[in-house]
Structure 1
């Protein structure tokens, strides 16, 4: 490539925390257009075969895999451990600057090990040969730097390369000599890891097994150049009947304290209403912040769908929402769309027929929250029945249904549970 094609500007996006700490910023590479086109072409080729290479326990950036499956599996594991009285632990790892620490030689070796052709590897090597970057700070370019590791965040190919580079860690933890450290499901299969890109979770059946898995992760880090941020790793006790006790080498989450996994709150004996309260606060804050931006009815419908309700769907897909809470949300949405009300304390008499309010073809198209929640449940139940033999979360869910309703004789009749 030409010298200008090897060059990229890097902007820093603030992630949260102390703004004076460099580690609280995410570097995003701004690549030349022709380089991005090449990277996209390579990404399309690689994405087509990634599902055949990457283990199903890695759900990040692999076509056809869903983030919510891992969330439901962890919820089911917690319920399973509580029901049968077994020990169970989930250790949430924090990889320090995971994307920026990828060793290029390690990445090329992994590509070769999974039988990616030499021609494809040479194209990847071309993208990472003698790169240079300049930080763009307050509109000013800093002096040029020459990175020696890391995949470029902002490049279409980077996420796929990262998923491949971390796959050996999953294979190492799932090796027959180590998989026994995980939790055994009713069908005899083991769960020892959950991956979503760099969000890595270790599933173990004892504290000793959790410590053993951490030593395996340390071995992987030494070989690959990755770095584990031990201070930020947290261990959650899955069995809610088991007492939470501190343990040397493990940062055990205290009783009642939340820990976020893939955007959903978990906790040892965490108040079931905690997630709903968090959603509730964000829901009403969005109206106060954005409500005045839309002047027309159509604009308010668009704003509610794009800004307000969109922040609910991720959590509601895996969390039971009380009917009275859904009714309050619906009331707020209706008052805003029809009456421009932005606070829950503001009253309004709705004179429009409910059918006309929610009709999407001839009505006002006011979003109906309860219908979306029912659709989410039906999709989840459909996936559970369709993937019962292949997905761990689905088989565990069906086992729990069967255990709860043996007298009915129809544990797979999903309409009974709807």
Structure 2
């Protein structure tokens, strides 16, 4: 109970301006007209695009049905999701190297999309989330986050940056704690009750190799594929950001950067970074969020000396070095889709991108490619869309 109260103590209270009514006809129309025809469908096998082009009488029937069920418990079938596993790379035989994506039914999408619009308007309030959080907020983009880190590097060229990886963050959310955070954050009871109905014993049905497996109840975690999940996670992790900020508060050269579950701490003093890492490990674990030390990295920028952060928590020793397993300094880290290099020399960058090309083609089965096809393959891998 003490840990729980300590966690909730850092939830910011920012009351929204309005209550949470069901969608108007205009809002309903915008929701059903947004998806593209080729959008993946859930277990109901119905794309919202089809609803947008069907006779208006059917649209009015669905609209009135949503209003009738807005304040009551929803049918279990509407809450059921089909789970697909997308490979993230690495050993394909390792289940942890897959990302579960939830394909949700069309009616659920209408409910959750309308709720997400309300939630993100709440997150737009500057008093809702910690200022270090750039993820899923209006007027905050990935490029702003990347530029902020680049500016820190320019201001403190001889420094350190700690990239923290949360292991399966969205899947690890404790739902009971999430709703305690939501209630304390100032969201109206109508909205939190609505979310409770969406998360009332939802069923997940995995599909593996084209076959549906047995359904099971979702007891924890947020569905990746639900429009509400990113915003809910931003609120859930916010108390941890406040604790991290306090850990580095006395060091003006150290800054905290967050984009949803992607965290980076930049500074010139190893003692501060070590203290922040220890706080993150101690405070996150009781709430299902675990730092993946193997995927987290300490990087040295400029002429700062190579270093290792070590500490002990609950008789477990944690160690994070700026050197890789071969004893060489880390050369780069992919953060928010952007490569941050410790050395931006032409040779280092050329070797890195050449290794990407070699790795990509070596992973392909033996096949004869025309020059045009080879160029197309390289472009899809190296050139962002």
Give me the TM-score of the superposition, normalised by structure 1.
0.63
Are 1:69 and 2:140 matched, yes or no? Answer: no
What are structure 1's unaligned runs of at least 5 residues? 185-190, 295-302, 315-418
Number of the residue aligned with 1:265: 339
The answer as to whether partners of 2:152 and 2:266 remain within 8 angstroms in 1 is: no
Alignment root-mean-square deviation, CA:
3.0
Are 1:121 and 2:184 matched, yes or no? Answer: no
Number of the residue aligned with 1:59: 134
SS at structure 1 position matched to 2:321: coil
Are 1:137 and 2:208 matched, yes or no? Answer: yes
For 2:349 and 2:383, the matched residues in 1 are separated by 11
Deviation by residue 1:146-187 (Cα, 9 ceiling, x = unmatched): 121100011111111111111111111123x64124x53xxx
Are 1:180 and 2:250 matched, yes or no? Answer: yes
What are structure 2's unaligned runs of at least 5 residues? 1-73, 311-318, 362-368
SS at structure 1 position matched to 2:172: coil
Deviation by residue 1:67-89 (Cα, 9 ceiling, x = unmatched): 1222222222223222xx6xx32
Which structure carries more helix by proportion?
1
Number of the residue aligned with 2:122: 49
Q: Which has the higher contact order (CA 8 A, sep 6+)?
A: 2
Are 1:32 and 2:105 matched, yes or no? Answer: yes
The answer as to whether partners of 2:322 and 2:329 remain within 8 angstroms in 1 is: no
Could you tell me which of 261, 278, 285 is aligned with 1:215? Answer: 278
Count of aligned pairs:
290
Shift of 1:132: 1.3
Which structure carries more strand by proportion?
2
| Larger Rg computed on CA atoms | 1
Are 1:105 and 2:179 matched, yes or no? Answer: no
Shift of 1:54: 2.1
Shift of 1:24: 0.5
For 1:229 and 1:109, the matched residues in 2 are separated by 26
Shift of 1:266: 2.1
Alignment map for 1:1-400 (pairs within 5 Å): 1-52=74-125, 53-82=128-157, 88-175=159-246, 178-181=248-251, 183-184=252-253, 191-238=254-301, 240-248=302-310, 249-253=319-323, 254-255=328-329, 257-272=331-346, 274-275=348-349, 291=372, 308=379, 312=383
Compared with structure 1, are the counterparts of its residues 275 and 50 closer, same or farther at alpha carbon in structure 2 (3 Å cutoff)?
farther
